[in-house]
Amino acid sequence: MNMTSIVLIASILTIAAFAIVTTSLLQPKSESFSQILTFGPLWNNGNNWTCTSDAGYLIHGALRGVQNSQITISMPTMGTQSLYQLDDSHLQSFTVGGKAGHSMIITRTGTVTGWITLQTMSGAKANCTQT
């Protein structure tokens, strides 16, 4: 390898490193979904779980149904968003998201057990309550 090739390769590597560093510095810093709240086993009393957060959030569910059970997921301002028919005795999972300040209601029909997890931004006020 001659000196011209070495200088060319070094120049390309320097420009690439500069571009990577500049791009990472210009990226807006975003918070991660670092607060995680878990609720379960589900449905000891009542048929609904109402979840909310003052920041955007995700709800993850791992549920098992018995005898033709199902769950519906709705938001009061938008109506029913999802309907899940649960296979008898099979563990099934779902993930849905909500906007800050919007409640999400998970309603069961039949016998359902399992866990739900609300995942939101660090420092957000969030909760799920059973009714």
pLDDT of 25-35, one tens digit each?
A: 555 555 666 77
Residues 39 and 26 occupy one common structural domain: no
Clarify whether residues 25 and 59 are in a common domain: no
Q: What angle do CA 29, 25, 53 make, to 5 degrees?
A: 5
| Closest residue by Cα to residue 50 from 111, 131, 125 | 131
Residues 59 and 1 in one domain: no
Whole-Å CA distances, 127 to 2, 44, 49, 54, 95: 66, 17, 10, 10, 17
Q: Does 69 lie in the same domain as 100?
A: yes
Q: Do 23 and 44 fall into the same domain? A: no
What is the per-residue pLDDT for 16? 61
* Two structure tokens written together for 88: 């008898």
pLDDT of residue 91: 85
Query: Which residue segment(s) compose the domain that 83 sits in?
Result: 35-130
Whole-prediction pTM: 0.69
Is residue 90 located within the same domain as residue 26?
Answer: no
Give the burial class of 17: count Cβ atoms within 10 A of its Cβ; 0-12 exposed, 13-18 middle, 19 or more buried.
Answer: exposed
Do 71 and 16 fall within a single domain?
Answer: no
